[in-house]
A and B are shown apart, each in its own frame.
Chain A
C-alpha cells in the first residue's frame, strides 16, 4: 500500500493507483483547514471513478481527512451520464476519464454535465483542440477519441453538457517528442453565452491585435451560443492553439471573470482576448513540445509507454509536472533522466516506460 499526505495531486494519485493496480491511502487531507476533509468535487470524482470501474473500494473517514482507495478494473461502457457539479469545470474530470478510458474493458462513451469553461481548469475548447490531438499522438490512434460540446455552461451555475468517447488502447507506443518546431499557424475559439453576440468578435479583435504582429495566419472561430445551448450563466472567453511546423500544439486561454459586475475593466472582451494572446506568447516563450498545462499528461504517457526510451522536451517544469514525476516514481518506479538544455532553457526528460498493458481487456 502506498501512503500519501494531503490533498495535492489527488486526481493523478487515483489514476495511477487504478492503472498500476495499487492500493493507496491518503491521510491528512486539509486537516488544518477551516473546513477539513475532501471537497465536494473530489467526492464527485470518486463517484465518477466508481461508475467507471468495477470492484473498486473507497473508504473515507468521518471527517473526510483520510481516504483509502482500492482500485478495481476499468470497465468503461457507453451510455454513461455524470453530473460534474459546479465547483470545478468539466476539464477537471476529463483528464481522469481519458487516462482510464484508454485502459478499459469496453470503449467509453459518457455525457458530462457541468461547467464547461472555467479559469481553474482547462476548458473543453482546449481539450478539444489541443489535449485530445495530443492524446491521439501519444496513444497512437487516428480516430475514436472525440469530445462534442452539446451545451456550454459558465460559472457559477454551469449548465453545460459534453459528450466524450474514448476508444481502447492495447498498449501505448513510445513517445519521442524532442522537436518543437516553429509556430506556423494559430487557431482559436472565441465563445460567448448569454451575452451580446458581439462579444466574441471583440475577443477575436483583442487577440489578433497582439498576434498579427508576429504571424498572419491567425484564425479564430466565433462560437456564440444562445437559448438552451448557452447554459445557465453568462460568460465568454477565448482559447488559442498555436500549431508548430513539427506538429506540436501549444494552447492558452483566457476567461471572463465569474462576476462580471465590478470587474468591468478586466472583463472587457478585448482585454480578455489580449490576455489570452499574452498567455499564448508566454507559453511559446517557455518552449517545449507542449504547453505548461499538458506537461503532466505527456510525462504520464511516457511512463506508461513500452519498455523503451521515451523522450520529451519540455519548458520549465510546473509544480504539477514535478509532482507528477514524483508520483510516477512512487507508483510505477519510473525515474526520468533530466537534462536541461541551457541555450533554449528547455529540459529533455527521458525514461524507460513500464510497458503497461490493458489488464481489463478480455481475451477473446
Chain B
C-alpha cells in the first residue's frame, strides 16, 4: 500500500547509478581526508577528525542562518485548533467538477467500479462507497449551475478538477477555484482528460507542461495533476484509475473553520412523506419531507434550525439516527476488503436495492428479477425463508399482538397488551427531559436522608417541592442524579402556548392545597399582596422574585451560634483534618449513567412500596453474572483499543483529520489514564517545551477529558448534551416545506442542509469588506442587486458601497473602486464577522466572461450602519457689509437655516466663513431662508458660497433568498465555450453584454442597466450637467497710473522706475574692438572649423531628405496596395454575408411554409 516504507532499489539502472555516485563521493572524501575514508560514514568521520574545518567561517553569515532557521520555524506554526475529529468520520466528499463533456460521470463510474466492483448505470446524487478498511468516500458530480457550484464548495472535502486536455482550461474551472477560495479552500487535485486526441507526442508533452504550470499558479507549486491518457471500452485505463484511487485514499484533510463550527449534511436521500390523500385534495399543500444523510461538521444539536440551500430556513421537526447504511468493516486485521465489505450506497442512482428507514427496511426487487416459481417446493432453507416472507399468513401487527415475551427466566411471559404505556412513552427522542413534571419521581427513598441532616434538605421531586414542606430550605439536593435531572429539566423554562392552561391549572391546584379559600371568595381576593414581599423559593413559581439571593431563615442561621455547631465544619478549614478534606475533594460521584443505575441498583415499586433488589438471592446472582459479563466485554474492548492506540502511536501521529481513533480519542474508563498520558505530551516534553507545544498539549488533554466524560454517558443523555456526532447517519424530518421542492426535485442537484447558530437566524445589516474581482469586466454600481453567498446562504441583496474616510466617516461610493477594497453594507441573514463573501451579478450560464463579481469578508454586524454622502449647498451673497454678508438661496426656510447656525462655509475663491444667524424673511430684501455669514475677508457679490454637509443615506432592506431548488430547472441554451486560454491574461476576456436570463430557473431582481436595456432607455441625462466649452474673454487691465503728486511723495524704493526709450546707442555698444594677432588667428581658426562642420551637416541633411522621400514613395505604394486589397476583401465579405442572409431568409420562409 501507499503507506508502506520506501524500499531502496537494489538492482537495475537506478541502483547502479546510486552506487556509482556513492563510490565517487567516498573516493573524494577519502582523498580529501588523506586517510581510509569509509563508504557511508566519510563525512562524519572527517568532521570528527578535523572539527576546525567545519566551524562557522563567517560570524555574520552564521547569525543570518540562525535567524532564518528561527523564522522558518515560526512560520511553520499556526494557531493551534482543537482537533475534534470524530471516531468514525462521515464519508469524505469527493466532488468531480469540470465543464460539460469532460468525462465527469465516466470518472465517477470508473472509481466506483474500482472501489466496489459494481457498474453504475447512471450517476445521480451522492454515491457513497467503502473505499478501504478505514475510509469511506462519497462521490458527487458537481452541477453545472453556479448556485450548485457555490453549494458544492461548502461541503466538499476533495475536488477532482477535470480539465479537457485537448481544449485547455475553461472559465468554469477558474470560477470554481475562486468560489473554493472564498468558502475555505478544500483540497484540490487536477485530472487531465481527452489526451488521446494528441497525435504529436511533443505537442502533448508541451501542452501537459503548460497546463500543469497554469494549474500550479492557481493552486500551489507542485499541486497534483493527474493525466488520464486514454479510454478503453468507454472507461479510463484501469491502472490510471487505480493510481488516482490510491491518491484519494491517502489524502489528508484540514478542518475548515466554518465547518468546524456548523453542523451540516449532504442529502443522499430525499423523500416526500406527505400523506397522498392530502396531496390529492390540494396539490399545492405544504409538504412533509424527510432528508437523509451523514452528519458532518460539528455536532448537530437538538432544536436547531437548518438552512436548506436553495430552499430556505426551516426548523427540524424530528431528528433520528439510523443505522449506518454503508458501515466500515470491522476492526479485524487483514490486508484488503472482501467482496461483502465493498459496499455501495446510492439511493438516488438506483443501485443497491436495499433502503433503511426509521422503522422499516425496503427491498427493491426489480421486475426482471422477479419470477414466481409457483407451487414447487423451495430448494433450500434460504429460499424457504424468503418464500415465507412473501406470503405471510397474518398481518404483522396481528402476529405481534399474538406474540409473547418472557422477560425473566422464571417469570411469566408478557403479551403485548401487558406492556405499560410508560415504556413506550419513555422511548421517545427526548428521553428523560420529556417526562412529565414530577411524574418520574416517587415520594420514596429519601426519608433516611431527611433525618440525617436538616441543614441542606433533600428535595428531589417536584411534587415534594410544591407541597412546600421545605419552603424555607433554599437548597436542593438529591442523592440520585436521575431525580435531580428530572426535577430540573422536567419543567421547561418556556411557556408553550398549549402548556399555558396546564400551568394555570397547576397554579390553581397549588393554591387550593394551601387552603386559602374556595373559588367564590377567590374572585374578590387578590392573590398576592406583592410579589417581592414574600420570599417564595419555588423554582416553578412564575412570579418568583428575580434575585440570586435566597432569604435564609434567621432561626436556622442562628443555629450556627450553638456551641459545637461550628466545630462540625472544622474539616473544611485548614485548621482541620487535611486527610478528610483531601478525601472530600477527591470524591467523585458514583457511576450512575442515566437509567443504568435504576436497572442494577435496588429499586422500589412506586405503587406498592415493595422493595426489590439485593435482598433477593436469585436476582442478585443474576445481576452479578450480568455485571461480570459486561465487565469482561469492557476489558476486551479496552485491550483492543489500547493495542490500536499503541500501534498508531508507534507509527507516529500526523496533523489533520484522521479516519480512525487517534491518540486523543478513547473510550471507557481507560480514558482517564490516557488523558494523563496526553497531558504528559505526545513527544515526551524534553528540556525545552515551547509555548506552542504547551498550548497544543493542553488542548489535547482537554479534548481527551471531554471525550472520556462523554463516553461514560448513556447514549440518550450524550445526545442531549452534545447532539448528534458527525458520522452518524441521520434522518431529518421537515414539515411545512413548499410543494415546489417536491415538484421540481432533481436528484442531480445535491441538497445541502446546513445548521445555523441562533444568532445567524436574525436579519440585519452586515458590513462587508469587498473587492471587485480583477477579471470581472465592469465596475459595480451602488444599489445594483448582487447575489451574495455568505455562510450557508445565498441571497440577493442591494449593497451600498462606502469607503472609510480619515475620520472614520463612511462615505458612500457610486461605484466600486477599480483596484481596491471598499465597504459594502448589505441587508440579509447575519453571519459572524470573518465569514467569507462571494458576490455574483448574474447566475445565468449563457454569458461570456467572468461571472464572479466580487469577493470579500464580513467585517461586522450593525443594526443601523451610518453611511453618508456629501451634499453641497450653494448660495450667493446679496448684500455685503465689510466682512459680513447676507447670503441667500442656500436654504428654503428660516427654520431650515436655523439648523445650520454655526456651520462653516467657503466661497469659491477660498474665503472661509461661518453662518451666524438665520434671517427673518425679507430682511435686507432677501428671500426666505437667507442667512448672515461672516467671512475672514471681504467677499465679492460675484462669489458663490458653498456649505459642505453630509447626509445619511437610507439603506435598502432587500433580502431575496436564492430559492433555485423551488424553481423549474432552467431550459439549457447553447452556452458559448468560455475559454480562458493559457497565455491570455484575465483582462483579455471579451466583455460582451450579458444576454437576458435563460427562460425558467430562478429569476431575481434585475440591475438598473438590465431594466434600462429591457425598456430601451439610456441613462438619464440632465442638460444642466453636460459639459460645454468654457468661453473666457481675455481680461483687460488698465495701466496703473500714479498721480504725479503721489509719485513725488513716494520714497525712491516705491517709485515706479520706468525708463524712457534710448535715443542713442549705449557706450558698450559703440566701443571698437581691436584684436591681438594671436587672438585674431584663434578667432579665424574657430570660424573655419565652424564652416567645416556646417558644410558636413548640410550634406547629411540633404542625404536624409533624399532617403525620406524614397521611403515615402515605398509607403505610398504599399498603402495603395493595402487599400485595394481591403476593398476587395470587404467586397467579398459583404457578398458572403448577403448570400448567407438570403439563404437564412429562404430557409425561414420555407419553414414557415411547412
B573 lies within 8 A of A363 (CB): no
A292 lies within 8 A of B475 (CB): yes
Binds B, one of A26-34, A77-85, A150-158, A219-227: A26-34
Binds B, one of A108-116, A139-147, A192-200, A322-330: A322-330
Whether, in the assembled complex, B1135 has its beta carbon less than 8 Å from a beta carbon of chain A, the answer is: no
B834 lies within 8 A of A39 (CB): no
B488 lies within 8 A of A322 (CB): yes
Interface string of A330-364 (1 = CB under 8 A from B): 11110111111111110110111001010111110
Cβ contacts A to B, 6 pairs, < 8 Å: A28-B495, A181-B585, A214-B569, A292-B475, A341-B589, A363-B858
Shortest Cβ distance from A343 into chain B, in angstroms? 5
Given the interface contacts A4-B493, A9-B544, A348-B589, does A284 sit within 8 Å of B574 by beta carbon?
no
Q: Which residues of A sit under 8 angstroms from B302, Cβ to Cβ?
A: 333
- Chain B residue nearest to A29 (CB atoms) is B543
B761 lies within 8 A of A215 (CB): no
Per CB-CB distance, the 4 closest pairs between chain A and chain B, nearest first, are A6-B542, A55-B863, A316-B475, A21-B759
Whether, in the assembled complex, B256 has its beta carbon less than 8 Å from a beta carbon of chain A, the answer is: no
Whether, in the assembled complex, B705 has its beta carbon less than 8 Å from a beta carbon of chain A, the answer is: yes
| CB neighbors of A among B485-499 (8 A) | 485, 487-489, 491-497
Interface residues of A (CB under 8 A from B): 2-11, 20-22, 27-28, 30, 32-35, 39, 42, 54-55, 72-73, 92, 95, 105, 119-122, 174, 179-184, 210, 213-216, 245-246, 274-275, 277-279, 281-282, 284-286, 292-297, 306-309, 311, 315-323, 325-327, 329-333, 335-345, 347-348, 350-352, 355, 357, 359-363
**Which of A277, A309, A330 touches B706 (beta carbons < 8 Å)?**
A309
| CB neighbors of A among B748-779 (8 A) | 758-759, 761-762, 764, 767, 769
Q: Which residues of A sit under 8 angstroms from B857, Cβ to Cβ?
A: 363
Given the interface contacts A179-B585, A338-B488, does A2 sit within 8 Å of B481 by beta carbon?
no
B557 lies within 8 A of A275 (CB): yes
A21 lies within 8 A of B762 (CB): yes
Q: Which residues of A sit under 8 angstroms from B527, Cβ to Cβ?
A: 32-33
B542 lies within 8 A of A335 (CB): no
| CB neighbors of A among B476-519 (8 A) | 476-481, 484-485, 487-489, 491-497, 500, 503
List 13 additional A-B contacts (Cβ < 8 Å) besides A33-B528, A345-B477. Answer: A4-B494, A8-B543, A8-B545, A33-B543, A210-B560, A278-B560, A281-B565, A307-B299, A331-B758, A337-B485, A339-B592, A340-B589, A341-B589
In whole angstroms, what is the CA distance A337 to B247 when docked? 44
In whole angstroms, what is the CA distance A348 to B485 when docked? 12
In whole angstroms, what is the CA distance A293 to B552 when docked? 12
The listed residue with most B CB atoms (<10 A of its CB), out of A2, A11, A183, A295, is A183
In whole angstroms, what is the CA distance A323 to B545 when docked? 12
In whole angstroms, what is the CA distance A336 to B301 when docked? 14
A322 lies within 8 A of B476 (CB): yes
Q: Which residues of A sit under 8 angstroms from B488, Cβ to Cβ?
A: 317, 322, 325-326, 336, 338
Q: Which residues of B sit under 8 angstroms from A330, Cβ to Cβ?
A: 492-494
Whether, in the assembled complex, B558 has its beta carbon less than 8 Å from a beta carbon of chain A, the answer is: yes
Q: Which residues of B sit under 8 angstroms from A42, Cβ to Cβ?
A: 546
In whole angstroms, what is the CA distance A210 to B558 when docked? 11
**Which of B544, B561, B568, B588 touches A8 (beta carbons < 8 Å)?**
B544
In whole angstroms, what is the CA distance A308 to B703 when docked? 7
B304 lies within 8 A of A333 (CB): yes
Q: Which residues of B sit under 8 angstroms from A344, Cβ to Cβ?
A: 584, 587
A319 lies within 8 A of B537 (CB): yes
Q: Which residues of A sit under 8 angstroms from B469, Cβ to Cβ?
A: none
Shortest Cβ distance from A211 into chain B, in angstroms? 8
Interface residues of B (CB under 8 A from A): 82, 84, 261, 298-299, 301-304, 433, 453, 455-457, 474-481, 484-485, 487-489, 491-497, 500, 503, 526-532, 537-539, 541-550, 552, 554, 556-558, 560-561, 565-576, 578, 581, 584-585, 587-590, 592, 702-703, 705-706, 709-710, 713, 717, 720-723, 758-759, 761-762, 764, 767, 769, 830, 832-834, 857-864
In whole angstroms, what is the CA distance A363 to B547 when docked? 37
A11 lies within 8 A of B475 (CB): no
Q: Which residues of B sit under 8 angstroms from A308, Cβ to Cβ?
A: 82, 702-703, 706
In whole angstroms, what is the CA distance A319 to B462 when docked? 12
**Which of A5, A8, A333, A338 touches B301 (beta carbons < 8 Å)?**
A333
Q: Which residues of A sit under 8 angstroms from B457, Cβ to Cβ?
A: 316
Shortest Cβ distance from B400 into chain A, in angstroms? 34
**Which of B572, B705, B709 touches A284 (beta carbons < 8 Å)?**
B572
B549 lies within 8 A of A20 (CB): no
In whole angstroms, what is the CA distance A281 to B561 when docked? 10
In whole angstroms, what is the CA distance A254 to B529 when docked? 26
Given the interface contacts A9-B546, A341-B587, A345-B456, does A20 sit within 8 Å of B758 by beta carbon?
yes
The listed residue with most B CB atoms (<10 A of its CB), out of A42, A73, A95, A340, is A340
B758 lies within 8 A of A215 (CB): no
**Which of B494, B529, B585 touches A246 (beta carbons < 8 Å)?**
B585
**Which of A3, A8, A363 touches B834 (beta carbons < 8 Å)?**
A363
B474 lies within 8 A of A318 (CB): yes
A340 lies within 8 A of B479 (CB): yes
- Chain B residue nearest to A292 (CB atoms) is B550
In whole angstroms, what is the CA distance A216 to B575 when docked? 9
In whole angstroms, what is the CA distance A286 to B476 when docked? 10
In whole angstroms, what is the CA distance A183 to B575 when docked? 9
B489 lies within 8 A of A293 (CB): no
Shortest Cβ distance from B765 into chain A, in angstroms? 9
Q: Which residues of A sit under 8 angstroms from B552, Cβ to Cβ?
A: 279, 282
Shortest Cβ distance from A234 into chain B, in angstroms? 22
B574 lies within 8 A of A183 (CB): yes
Q: Which residues of B sit under 8 angstroms from A5, Cβ to Cβ?
A: 495, 500, 503, 542
In whole angstroms, what is the CA distance A331 to B556 when docked? 36
A326 lies within 8 A of B526 (CB): no
Shortest Cβ distance from B571 into chain A, in angstroms? 8
Shortest Cβ distance from A212 into chain B, in angstroms? 10
B481 lies within 8 A of A339 (CB): yes
Shortest Cβ distance from A42 into chain B, in angstroms? 8
Shortest Cβ distance from A257 into chain B, in angstroms? 12
Q: Which residues of A sit under 8 angstroms from B590, Cβ to Cβ?
A: 341-342
A92 lies within 8 A of B531 (CB): no
In whole angstroms, what is the CA distance A108 to B527 when docked? 42
In whole angstroms, what is the CA distance A327 to B859 when docked? 31
